[in-house]
Amino acid sequence: MHRQHLIELLARYERVHPEERELVHRFRTFASEHGDCLLRSCVPGHITASAWIISRDGTRCLLTHHRKLDRWLQLGGHVDGESRIEEAARREALEESGLGAVELVLPRGFLVPLDLDVHPIPARGNEPLHLHWDVRFLFRAAGTSEVPVVSEESHDVKWFTTTELHAVTDEESVLRLHRKALALAGGA
């Protein structure tokens, strides 16, 4: 399992966010100790990819009401062995949103994650409690239609303004994504 791209993304993230050095170190240690970290079969946890999607005009963000977790969250999921984490985030964004296209936003002129997050996923069925090591990217809706389509993984998918976002979630990791996106791309 090729993890070099992930290691490079983590290094870039650390240069941009030196205040998050401890979190980056945890990610790097996890990736180094688990050669299968890009596969969901990695039992203690695995790398996942998320997409914070803003509208073309930058005034709204797209969230999914996650079926299993019953919360409004950013779109994303398992990388399933994809070493280019940002492409896994794009794949998940398109699958879960029904949008025709999304563009990766590179406000610094180079690829760097928008955010990193580690969170527990509750045990369910044959799947034990485990961690998702989430690498998150900023995308902009690129298609001519921004009408989302609900996937089987969601109860709903909707665009939210900042005010509407705060009315549906107090989840710090979602609000942090929003703050970081505002700082980089403005709007939404």
pLDDT in tens, the chain (188 residues): 489 999 999 999 999 999 999 999 999 999 999 999 999 999 899 999 999 999 998 899 999 998 777 899 999 999 999 999 999 999 999 999 999 899 999 988 999 999 999 999 989 888 899 999 999 999 999 966 788 888 877 789 999 999 999 999 999 999 999 999 999 876 55
Residue 59's alpha-carbon distances to 2, 24, 25, 130, 161, in angstroms, are 37, 30, 34, 35, 6
CATH number of the domain residue 107 falls in: 3.90.79.10
Domain count, the chain: 1
Write out the residue range of the structural domain in which residue 97 sits.
4-185
Q: How is residue 45 written in tokens?
A: 């946890």
**Residue type at position 139:** F
Tell me the pTM.
0.94
Helices (H) and strands (E) in the chain, counts: 5, 8
- Amino acid sitting at position 44: P
20: DSSP letter? G
